[in-house]
């Protein structure tokens, strides 16, 4: 239960916290852009089985690979891509928290 709360809590609360702290005037739109980072989980559809409870997503799925993570980090620097990159990095952090429970 703690693992489930930590995983999904990070997926929601981390982008929300970032939006409230750094994007206060337009926190709602910032939160929605960052939460769209959840779409990288579409790569789970390529796995067989699609869901495996004891499988760490990091470096298993293509959009969770070390190469993809490096791109997400680089995307943090330009202003135009920062919000989506924050969402992607927050997603990876949430998945790392999940992996730490395994």
pLDDT given for residue 3 in this prediction: 67
Q: Convert the pLDDT of each residue in 31-54 to its tens digit.
A: 999 999 899 999 989 988 888 878
Q: The whole model's pTM is what?
A: 0.89
CA-wise closest residue to 66 among 74, 76, 54: 74
**What value, to the nearest 5°, has the Cα angle with vertex 19 and ends 32 and 96?**
85
What is the percent of the chain where pLDDT is above 70? Answer: 95
């Amino acid at each position: 239960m703690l693992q489930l709360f930590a995983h999904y809590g990070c997926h929601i609360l981390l982008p929300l916290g970032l939006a409230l702290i750094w994007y206060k005037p337009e926190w709602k739109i910032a939160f929605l852009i960052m939460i769209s980072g959840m779409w990288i989980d579409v790569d789970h559809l390529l796995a067989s089985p699609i869901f495996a409870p004891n499988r760490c997503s990091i470096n298993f799925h293509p959009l969770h690979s070390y190469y993809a993570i490096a791109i997400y980090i680089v995307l943090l620097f330009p202003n135009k891509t920062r919000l989506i990159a924050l969402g992607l990095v927050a997603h990876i952090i949430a998945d790392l928290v999940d992996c730490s429970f395994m």
